[in-house]
């Protein structure tokens, strides 16, 4: 897919939502997780369309048949930011020659103690994450590429959800 196609598509969506801002409101698609076997889980839309499967490593009692939810969380963040770099670059007319985004956690992270309930003073999730952007372009300066990354950090949907506390409500139905 050409970058001109991406630019035209994004520009069309931006123009539509500027003219119809109420159409931009709404929650993302709802999902349902169904435990299939042991720790293997199928995630689907409410219409039954399968989205993905997760499983835990064999060492923790899973089958190791699919990525863990934590792996997919990190993959969602890094792929979202890479996608938005490509999208924004196309929108700005920047012709990228290199685009790689790496995500790393804290090597001293002890969140396993937290998520297993061994030490409740330790958070169950990641304590820190580091995104590294490796970018090159035919027609952009280093400063312009740094500005592009700053824009991505401010506008990445997954990054935004991760970097600020968002309220989660819980509803429990027993059968």
Taking CA atoms, 56 is separated from 29, 62, 92, 96, in Å, by 25, 4, 41, 37
Q: Is residue 159 scored above 90 in pLDDT?
A: yes
Measure the N-to-C terminal CA separation of the chain; round to a whole number of Å: 48
Q: Is residue 116 scored above 90 in pLDDT?
A: no
Total residues belonging to the chain = 175
Q: What structural domains and CATH numbers belong to the chain?
A: 1-67 (no CATH), 68-175 (3.30.300.20)
Per the prediction, the chain carries an average pLDDT of: 92
CA atoms of 159 and 71, how far apart (whole Å):
15
Q: Is residue 87 scored above 50 in pLDDT?
A: yes
Q: What is the pTM of this model?
A: 0.88
Question: Which residue has better confidence, 52 or 1?
Answer: 52
115 band by pLDDT with thresholds 50, 70 and 90: confident
């Amino acid at each position: 897919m050409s970058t001109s196609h991406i630019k035209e598509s994004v520009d069309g969506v931006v123009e539509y939502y500027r003219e119809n801002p109420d159409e931009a409101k709404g929650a993302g698609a709802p999902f349902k997780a169904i435990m299939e076997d042991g720790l293997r889980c199928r995630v689907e839309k409410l219409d039954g369309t399968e989205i993905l499967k997760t499983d835990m490593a064999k060492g923790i009692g899973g089958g190791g048949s699919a990525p863990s939810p934590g792996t997919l969380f990190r993959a969602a963040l890094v792929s979202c930011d890479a996608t938005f770099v490509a999208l924004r670059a196309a929108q700005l007319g920047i012709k990228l020659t290199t685009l790689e985004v790496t995500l790393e956690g804290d090597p001293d992270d002890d969140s396993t103690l937290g998520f297993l309930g061994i030490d409740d003073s330790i958070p169950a999730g990641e304590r820190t994450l580091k995104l590294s952007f490796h970018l090159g372009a035919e027609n952009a300066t280093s400063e312009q590429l740094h500005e592009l990354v700053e824009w991505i950090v401010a506008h990445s949907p997954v990054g935004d959800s991760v970097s600020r506390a968002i309220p989660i409500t819980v509803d429990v139905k027993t059968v």
